[in-house]
Structure 1
Amino acid sequence: MSVEGTWNLAIATPVGRQQAVLRLSIEGGVLRGVATGEAEEVPLTELTLDGDRLTWRQSITKPIRLHLAFDVVVRGDELAGTAKAGRLPATKVTGRRAAPSSDS
């Protein structure tokens, strides 16, 4: 299964719905990714694809400093799962793969 590409994420949080963009690529046979949201771009760590299950960790500083663990299931061009920050309850994450750019 290919998860490469740009994904538009929506994360339901206690302070409201947050938007993020996830960019995934294969570099040297290794899955890599970055997430952009709230005017910051952060690298993904512990990025793993096991069948249709995609997991990763990332740290953010905006709107507050958090260390997040994501666990989602990818089905075609959609994904759904959870994001968890420490002891806080898990929040719902949904996403859709962005259409490829016609500039490429």
Structure 2
Amino acid sequence: MTAESARTATVEGVWDLTIATPIGRIKAAVTFRREDEALAGVASGAGEDVPLRDIAVDGAQVTWKQSVTKPLRLNLAFTVHVEGDTLEGTSRAGRLPASKVTGTRRTTPARVAE
């Protein structure tokens, strides 16, 4: 862990995730934003948008829960480590084996002042 990641992770923004599951790789986008001093978020993928629950940041570790209905109805729990604009970790669905998660934060072009 670097000195940068030892501090509290900054997760706000849009992240493109890849989840390596037993049924293949699943792509999703997760958006984290601040609302009233707390983190809120939504995950988008497989034709659905689902809210994130129980988002917590502990140093470089970020955890959250979400439910999905596609490709299967599952309750997922994510644990990832953020370092700069990349993350990696796992997603668990109940008793199923953990799936590897990797992601990169989307960068947006700087706006030109008018």
- Report TM bin, short chain: over 0.9
The corresponding residue for 2:32 is 24
Residue aligned with 1:3, SS: coil
1:4 corresponds to which of 12, 18, 34: 12
Gaps of 5+ in 1: none
Shift of 1:100: 1.6
Instruction: Output aligned runs, 1:1-104, within 5 Å.
Output: 1-101=9-109
Write out the 4+ residue segments of structure 1 that deviate beyond 6 Å after TM superposition. none
Whole-angstrom distance in 1 between the partners of 2:109 and 2:48: 22
Gaps of 5+ in 2: 1-8
Whole-angstrom distance in 2 between the partners of 1:10 and 1:24: 16
Instruction: Give the total of aligned pairs.
Output: 104
The RMSD of aligned alpha carbons is 1.3
Whole-angstrom distance in 1 between the partners of 2:93 and 2:59: 24
Paired residue type of 2:16: N
Which structure's residues are more often strand, by fraction?
Answer: 1
Which structure has the larger Rg over C-alpha atoms?
2
Task: Determine what percentage of the aligned residue pairs are the same residue.
Answer: 52
Shift of 1:2: 1.8
Q: Tell me the alpha carbon deviations over residues 6-52 of structure 1, each in whole angstroms, 9 at most, x when there is no partner.
A: 00000000110000000000111111110001000000001001111
